[in-house]
Structure formats: structure tokens, C-alpha cells
Amino acid sequence: MAALGLLMLAGGCGGSEGLAFGSSSSSSGGGGSGQGTTAGATTAGATTQVPTGAAESSSSPSSGADMSAGTSTGAVVTTGTTGLDTSTGAMGVCGDGALDPGEGCDDGDGDDADECTNLCVAAACGDGVVWAGVEVCDDGGVQAGDGCDGDCLPEGAPDVYLASALSDFGFHGYFAAADAWVTLAGAPSVTYSQLTNDGERVYLLGIDNVIYVYSPAEGAWSSSPVPGPGADLVNQPTGYFKWTDDGFYYLQDALTTLYHHKDGAWVAIGLPNVGSCAGSWAPGEGLLFMRSYLQAGFMAVRTSDDMVVRSITDVAPIPETNRTGSLSGAFFYVRGMFGPLERLDAVDGMKTSTGQFPTSPQTASDTDLATGAIYLAGYQAQATIFQRYDPKVNEITTLAASPGVPDLSTITVMLP
């Protein structure tokens, strides 16, 4: 894919700019095509710079007295002697704020992410520490093809996209290989629904009943020729919006009517239970999963003929501010407020606990179909907490902190 508009900053081009933070590893990506073919005037927004700090990096060596080490990640001020202070006759110490022989710098502030690292070496791309406000990623090398290039910019297109599902135009992308976030061109409209994608483009259903399309290749927004299901539906929080091979689906939470756009029109489908704003599409099965309203149960609709083929009742309470409901493998994952992730058998609904507790008490979720991992975005005071649950090893990993979006968050992981 062509580079994002934000990466033009590295080449000195005017217009868009963007920075983020972090380093680790994962994967996603991919092609695909869908009903939402872009049309209409492109409204590319300027990418804004949001340096919010560096995430913990497993590739960064820990701090210590060994001055041969590349960089340090802790806020350690005193790391060892560096050279004889000719004014006092004493050996200088890195972190004392005085430039001693053998030191490239010494600002004495204990901040490893500024222009002078905690090893008293000037920050540089490839040192393994993200230089806040300057670098987007830093994996400890400058070779290309590993997710973070020689200019400390993420490679390719984002794997996960983040927005507010209530009150903000902010739009952000996460690069799994670099474990780094960037702030992208702002959305043309606020959305009260969930983001979705077709593997090539991201779709946002605006509160003006327009489906907006973001092209990672162009770094710009346009409008889809497919209209929304109705202004009276989409201008109320919160909706379940999903792209499938068989067209777009929309469900206003707390209602029993699912809408499907096919053959040029939106068609109403009656549901046996009240639906929520969380769920997953399983392309291999051709099923659209939706969590039940305020409950842990779920429904599954076959997208080829819009038949409800499963309806699982589980009255365990789940608030609608918790937008977690994701299919991975043979299980549908949900959680209550402050609770652990729970897995429901996707066929019979039998429930077991994973014993894994996301940090944020309420979360938005989406599944990486390439790996089966479930990404989790935080809420309000924990809005910047971004985590990944791996069902294969039953483990939650905390990733680079995301930009904070107000109120409800929504994420979509690009289809493979």
C-alpha cells in the first residue's frame, strides 16, 4: 500500500503530519473488496501531530552501569562514572547534569525519551528508545522491512483503526509490527456507530447518515455511494455497523430490527432478541454475530439469506458502554464491567472464564482474523490503555498507549 499521508512529514512535504509512539510486534493486514466503493468528493484532512510518549519496548536494553549498552528505558539518573571531572578531581557521573569527559550529553532529568538518553548519549534513530515528539517508532535498528524503517517511521498501513463512537472527529491508526500509533486525517463527521472495514478501506457511518470511506493508500476520506440506513437511526448512540461480503449491516442497540443494505436498498430483518452495539463477522462461516443487549448472550445471522441461525441467551449483565463482543475461533468473547474475558461456545453458548482481566473496566473489541487475537481499547480514564488478548496462550499483552478518544471508543482490525 502507498504510504499514509502522515508519512509525508518524513520527506519534508507540507500538509499532513503525524507522530506516535511504541515498539513491539504482531501482524495483520490485507486485501479485499466490498460494497462501499468510494465515490464523491475527497475530503483529505491534515494529519495532526500527537506525541503522547513512548511505550515500553522489549527491544530496548535496560539501564545500568554498563556504558557499552545502547540505550536505557528506565528513569534512572545515575548510571555510572564517565570520566574525571578536571575541576574537582572526582569521577563524573552520568545523570548529574554536568557534561563530563566521555559523555555526549547530560541533561540530568532522568527522561530517556528526550534528546539526551539516560546513558548520556544523544538520542538517535536506531537506539531502541522512541524519541518523544521526533520518532514514531524505534526498534533498535535502521534496516527496512521489519515494521519500523530507517527514519523511525512505521512501514505500510495501519493494522487497527481507532475513533470515538460518540463525540469526536479524531481518527488514529496502530501499526502492529512497530507497536506504534499515528494520528490520521480527521473524520468528516462524528459517528455514533462502530468502525468497520473491507480489508482495503475503513468505513465510518456519520451522524449525517453518510457512509464515509477512508483510504489508507491515499490517506484521505471520501463518501460512499451507499447511503446510511436513516438519519433517525444513526444520530442516536450507539449503533452496530458492519461491512460483509453481502453488504453493510446496521443495528441500533436496544432494538430488535437489523438493517441490511442489498440490491440498492436497506432491508429490515426482525431479530428474536434485543441487539447491542458489539459483534463480529465470520467470513468463513458467512455469519454475523451480535451480542444481546445488556447481556452476554448473542445472535448469529447468516448473511447470504438473513436467517437468524443461532440465538443464545445468557442473562449475565453487560452495560452498553462495554462494547466487547468478538468471535475468535470457536468462541464468542464478552465481558462485564470490571470482569474477565469470558468465552461462549459459538454454537451452544456454554460459557467459561478465561481468567484474564483487561486493565480498563470497559472496553471496545475487534478480532484480527489473521491471528485470532482480540484487540481491546479502553474507556474514559483508561482511554489510552490498548491491549491484545491471544486466545491461543490465554494471555493479555499491554501495547503502546493509544491516543485518548473521549467517551466511547471504537476499533476495527483490518481484514486479511
Distance in angstroms (rounded) separating the CA atoms of residues 208 and 379? 25
Instruction: Report, as an integer, the average pLDDT of 291-303.
Output: 95
Q: Residue 275's beta-bridge partner residues?
A: 292
| Residue 91 pLDDT | 67
| Residue 286 pLDDT | 97
Is residue 406 within 8 Å of 191, Cβ to Cβ?
no
| Residue 21 pLDDT | 38
Quote helix, strand, coil % in the chain, to nearest 5: 5, 35, 65
pLDDT(93) > 90 = yes
Q: Of the candidates 342, 408, 407, which has an alpha carbon nearest to the alpha carbon of residue 374?
A: 342
Grid coordinates representing 9 are: 512529514
What is 143-166 written as a DSSP string?
-SSSSB-TTS-B-S--SEEEEESS
Confidence of residue 316 (pLDDT cuts 50, 70, 90): confident
pLDDT(49) > 50 = no
- φ, ψ (nearest 5 deg) of residue 400: -55, 135
Query: Is residue 252 classed as helix, strand or coil in its secondary structure?
Result: strand
pLDDT(10) > 90 = no
In whole numbers, what is the pLDDT of the chain averaged over residues?
83
pLDDT(46) > 50 = no
| Residue 88 pLDDT | 54
Q: Comparing 167 with 182, which gets the higher pLDDT?
A: 182
Q: Say yes or no: domain 32-47+163-174+189-413 is CATH 2.120.10.80.
A: yes
Sheet holding 180-183, edge to edge: 180-183, 171-175, 160-164, 409-413
What is 320-366 written as a DSSP string?
TT-B--EEETTEEEE--TTPPPEEEETTT--EEE-----SSSS-EEE
| pLDDT one-digit tens code per residue, 351-375 | 999 999 999 999 999 999 999 999 9
| pLDDT one-digit tens code per residue, 207-236 | 999 999 999 999 999 999 999 999 999 999
Domain ranges of the chain: 32-47+163-174+189-413, 61-127
Confidence of residue 86 (pLDDT cuts 50, 70, 90): low
